[in-house]
Structure 1
Amino acid sequence: MKISIEIDCSPEEARRFMGLPDLTPLQDRYVGLLQKSMEQTTIGPDAVDAIIKGWAPMGEAGTAMWRRMFETATKSGS
């Protein structure tokens, strides 16, 4: 027997249902500061690369893991 349940809700509705905090103001502030820094050229491309790598789970190892996973998925699907 197979049962499928489809839930149609927005990301906001899902966040509230799961009791997760609304981090929108924090994200907006962080993005604004990053954008301001880039406009003032206080950070360079290398710093942006380091920031983005830090966002990934497990840093660079996590990024490599995701890359391998996507490469494997696209190769098997061809």
Structure 2
Amino acid sequence: MKFNVEVEATPQEMRAFLGLPDVAPLQKEMLDELARRMREGQQGYDALSLMQPMLQSGVAGMDAFQKLFWQAFSQQGERPSGRDKEG
């Protein structure tokens, strides 16, 4: 016997149903504080130094992804050894 249940709910409704906390106010408060500190230029909160690790890993990740695709496409036309012969 197969039993399917479909539930249509927003993420907020599902969090409340499952008893998970609503972290949106905390997230907003933290982001507002970070933005304030960046605008004021407090030490350690300049935008470039905060974004640098994310930008570097993003570029490195894209470069690795591109190399993976090029490697896959370059090997597409090659046949594995041992399968050259029919029969």
Tell me what 1:57 maps to. none
Percent identical pairs in the alignment equals: 29
Q: Which runs of 4+ in 1 moved over 6 A?
A: none
TM-score (norm 2): 0.47
> Cα RMSD over matched residues?
3.3
Count of aligned residue pairs for this structure pair: 57
TM-score (norm 1): 0.51
Greater Cα radius of gyration, structure 1 or 2: 2
Q: Answer 1 or 2: which has greater helix percent.
A: 1
The letter of the residue matching 2:41 is T
Structure 1: runs of 5+ lacking an equivalent: 54-59, 73-78
Tell me what 1:45 maps to. 48
The answer to whether residue 28 in structure 2 is matched with residue 28 in structure 1 is yes
Shift in alpha-carbon separation, 1:46–1:3, aligned structure 2, 3 A: farther
Shift of 1:26: 1.0
Structure 2: runs of 5+ lacking an equivalent: 70-87
